[in-house]
Amino acid sequence: MSKKIVLFFLCLSLLFTGNLPAARSLPNSPFLFDQVKPKHIELNNRIMAVVNGKPITVYDLAKKLDVTFYKQYPQYADSIETKFQFYQYHWKFTLRDMIDKELIISDAKEVKLPVSPGDVRQEMETLFGPNIISNLDRIGLSYEDAQEVVESDLLLQRMLSMRVNLKSMRKVTPLAIRQAYEEYCKVNQRQSEWDYRVVSIQHSDSAKGAEIAGIVGQLLEVENVSFDEVKERVKAMGLYDEDTKINITPIIHNTEKDIAEFNKISLTGMKADTYSKPLDRASPDGKSRIFKIFYLEKLVQGGNVPFEEVENKLLDQIRSKVMDDETESYLKRLYEHFHFDEKEMTPFISSDFEPFSLH
């Protein structure tokens, strides 16, 4: 059976309803656009599988679908069309889950796992609310049938906890987590990221440009002059003339992928909230030198993602994988122990069998 379906069933069994995937776009029904509304869903009742001597019928399937439908879509409990579409989409998943569930319950009965009437009653109230009878009437389910479904779900939950959950927890060890982290780091290296500004100083006379760059660096680093005031301070000192250019960028955000090589080299080794010394390079036309002062506002160092940032994610992945494997192994043992073969279903239902119809 599909591992995804088994794991899905395991996780949602704690809700005692065997919740299924949310409905996708549902197939059209001839009743949806007719003025005549359907009155009921007719069951093509027959045996669909026999598990450990117990038959699973279309009627049993409908009971389980009713409980699941009410849990997921209580607002549509009175809509025959919506319920029918839900049936059509989910009956095969539900039948598979019911087979697995029946095998697990057979195992529970062998070990005489108890479920008290008080536990069942409490879960009935949780699921259907204080007005149990009226809510059951809305979905067409008797109290006894609902009680049977809830009791079996409680058995299922406790059996899975005993046979699967406890074993799975023992396999989630510090060593397993460390190995998962090492594998994660191999394919998820973090890129370095920089937030920075650049002050560019250029003059037709490179010597004067170097002098102005040194003064700008002192204003910023020593006197803590703001970027907005730099140009005016240079002008006030009589150093700014028509051949002087001072450009200040807004904050630039770069990663390893998009940062210019010169900028990366210039920022390497800097700490946050510090300035570089003036660094010069030739202007694009080659006629003068451009002096650049870098201000590093923030640095996210590249390399391995810190363990603390991915610990919970890795734990969830490990638990999911271990639960998946342990559940599959448990069900395989049950299939062998109770001598159930999926081929035994063939005489009961054909590939084109439709268990439900609208009338």
Q: What is the tens place of the pLDDT at every residue in 171-212?
A: 899 999 999 999 999 999 888 999 999 999 999 899 999 999
CATH code at 289?
3.10.50
Task: Please give the tally of structural domains in the chain.
Answer: 2
Tens-level pLDDT at each residue, the chain (359 residues):
444 444 444 444 433 344 444 444 445 555 444 556 777 899 999 888 888 888 999 999 999 999 899 888 888 888 889 999 999 999 999 999 999 999 999 999 899 988 898 999 999 988 888 888 988 888 788 899 888 888 888 999 999 999 998 888 888 999 999 999 999 999 998 889 999 999 999 998 999 999 999 999 999 999 999 999 999 999 999 989 989 999 999 999 999 899 999 999 999 999 999 999 999 998 888 888 999 999 999 998 888 988 999 999 999 999 999 999 999 999 999 999 998 887 766 556 777 888 999 88
Nearest to 243 by CA among 251, 234, 252: 234
* DSSP notation for 81-143: HHHHHHHHHHHHHHHHHHHHHHHHHHHHHHTT----HHHHHHHHHHHH-S-HHHHHHHHT--H
**314 and 295 in a common domain:** no
The continuous run of DSSP H or E covering 235 comes out as: helix 227-236
Distance CA 318, CA 13 (A): 20
In a domain, 70, yes or no: yes
CATH code at 64?
1.10.4030
**158 and 78 in a common domain:** yes
In a domain, 182, yes or no: no
CB within 8 Å of 309: residues ≥ 6 apart: none
Distance CA 283, CA 209 (A): 12
**159 and 122 in a common domain:** yes
**113 and 228 in a common domain:** no
Residue-wise pLDDT for 111-154, tens only, equals 998 889 899 999 998 888 888 898 888 878 889 988 888 888 89
Residue-wise pLDDT for 86-96, tens only, equals 999 999 999 99
Q: Give the end of a domain, one of 250, 280, 300.
A: 300
Is residue 192 within 8 A of residue 254, CB to CB? The reply is no
152-170 burial, b for 16+ CB within 10 Å, e for fewer? bbbbbbbbbeebbbebbee
The pTM score is 0.58
Count CB-CB contacts under 10 A for residue 78: 10
Segments forming the whole domain that contains residue 150: 3-176+310-358
In a domain, 185, yes or no: no
**11 and 152 in a common domain:** yes
**59 and 197 in a common domain:** no
